[in-house]
Amino acid sequence: MASRDRSVSPKIQNCPLVSPSAPASVHSSSRTKRKRSQGCDPGADEVEDPRPSKQIKRSPTLLALSEDNLQKLNAEIMDGANSMNGLKRTSSRPSRKSDISQDTTQTQSVSVASASYRYNYLADAQVFFHADPPDYINTTIHTIIEAKISEKDRAKLKDIARQFHSNTMKVVRASVGEDDFLGILTGAFEALNKVHLCHRAKSDWREELKPASRQPHFDLDFLTNPNLKANGQSSALDEALPPPHKRQQRSASQTYMSPSSMNDAIESASTKAPQDTGTMPPPAASSLLAKEGDRSVIKTPRPDLSIGILNTTLHSRVSTEKFNEVEVEQLLRYLQAKLRPREPGKQPEPILISIPALRASDLAFPFIVVEGKAYSTGKQMFEAENQAAVSGACGLKIQLCLDELVQQVNRTATTSDVPPTTPAPPPLFFSVCTEGPIHALWAHYTLVENGVRKFKMTLLNSCNAVRLKDLEEFLVAFYNVCSWGTGGFLDSVVERLGKVVANLTAASQSSG
């Protein structure tokens, strides 16, 4: 019986493609008998296949003998042969290398996009970084951040700094997100207990506040279109080419256009709103450059933290005996809803946007924002600075609109109607940009140079929150900015709005 068993090839005995209808007990008993007989026979090693042990470790699911299963088996064998061709390395190392290359490529693309956004689109919108403010603006800025504080406030700031430092040391040792670091700064602001201030997180600001891109007013189409002259007239090429026959026009179902006017038609069509046809509209001839007055290329501000004046505080401070808080609130809503063009040929805009975020209706006249990036995700402070620059330009525009409103009131009112006021200080705005424990305080200001309104920002202070001493100095500057928000800035806003209220009160009395 043993010799008969040895005459059968062990490959057939252990082949997984045997009939699946045989009972499992029969297979197990037969395999046990064969193992015992082969173990007792000295010549069993000569015919024993070394692969049965590997086959036993396979999945217990038995595959039926079919053409599909044979094709799968053949594909697995060929894949194994291809992986060994040329002594290639295992697939684990190339996958890790490709992952690193992919992450590096993504980081580089993000960096290039942020740099292009800053040095092209923001520059076209007249937003600039690392500027040197003139002396009178520089003096005003440093008067704010270097203000003297009491010993009581300094002791309070030291306690806040120690808690800030302790929380920072916990999160820098872990892989955490952006909000974990921002939460520490938010907690420090709340500990300052500035009751007249309001802060809201991740609230979208209104698009009308964004600075618009400005392109040269002169026409350079003749440089890119050889069929155009400098004065916009068609060249001799158009005059030499006769128009096609009417039959050709009808067959093409199009109106004949000269070569020189074709480019103008494309640019004119690109400025119109595309219809919902399900297809992409053709790109404009100058798609890489933003059109004059175009805000779409500038990202709408959504600061991680917006800090401004509490709405109820503003209403209470502006109200008078003849103009109560309810009327002040109605006035601000009216000014925000009333539209008018600020320049001839421009789109109408609200007269005054005192509340920039629709989902933060209790926050008026923001004067500082916080933009942060996570420490362990590869995001850079460079991108946070880009976001803060747009928010700063929007905040400055709010103050400029208020100044413009006051000037209009002064032109329409008599001297006795409006009380005299001190000259308004230069518009200022502040921002804090963070990258994990690294914090930077910026000042934003605006100037008119060569007839063009420009928005600039300059670095004031920076620190790493893991260094307690540097953090204390940074928090003193941050505290002084918040104190300016409830002090000089609030007083200036109230004074200017008071002139508007006084004019309305005088007008109502004269009409009555």
Helices (H), 271-380: 311-318, 325-337
Residue 129 lies in a domain: yes
Same domain, 404 and 505: yes
Give 67's contacts (C-beta < 8 A, 6+ positions apart).
none
Query: Do residues 432 and 384 make contact, with C-beta atoms less than 8 angstroms apart?
Result: no
Residue 279 lies in a domain: no
Same domain, 184 and 265: no
Same domain, 430 and 486: yes
Total domains, the chain: 3
Give the domain range for residue 494.
125-215+298-511
Residue 91 lies in a domain: no
Same domain, 196 and 329: yes
Q: Select from 61, 84, 107 the last residue of a domain.
A: 84
Query: Do residues 282 and 341 make contact, with C-beta atoms less than 8 angstroms apart?
Result: no
Q: Do strands 348-350 and 339-341 pair parallel, antiparallel, or not at all (unpaired)?
A: antiparallel
Rounded Cα distance between 201 and 305, Å, is 4
Same domain, 321 and 229: no
Q: Select from 56, 84, 112 the last residue of a domain.
A: 84
- Encode the chain (512 residues) as per-residue pLDDT tens digits: 444 444 444 444 444 444 444 444 444 444 544 444 444 444 444 455 555 555 555 555 666 777 777 777 777 766 655 555 444 444 444 445 445 455 544 555 556 799 999 999 999 999 999 999 999 999 999 999 999 999 999 999 999 999 999 999 999 999 888 999 999 999 999 999 999 999 999 999 999 999 988 766 666 666 777 666 555 555 554 555 555 555 444 444 444 444 444 445 444 444 444 444 443 344 333 333 344 456 678 999 999 999 999 999 999 999 998 899 999 999 999 999 999 888 777 889 999 999 999 899 999 999 999 999 988 777 899 999 999 999 999 999 999 999 999 998 888 765 555 566 667 789 999 999 999 999 999 999 999 999 999 999 999 999 999 999 999 999 999 999 999 999 999 999 999 999 999 988 887 777 65
Same domain, 311 and 167: yes
Helices (H), 151-295: 151-171, 178-192, 221-224, 236-240, 246-252, 259-270
Same domain, 147 and 196: yes
Same domain, 262 and 135: no
Residue 15 lies in a domain: yes
Same domain, 42 and 161: no
Same domain, 260 and 380: no
Same domain, 376 and 493: yes
Task: Enter the pTM of the model.
Answer: 0.68
Residue 100 lies in a domain: no
Same domain, 328 and 450: yes
Q: Select from 55, 84, 113 the last residue of a domain.
A: 84
452 sits in which H/E element: strand 452-464
Helix (H, G, I), strand (E, B) or coil at 457: strand
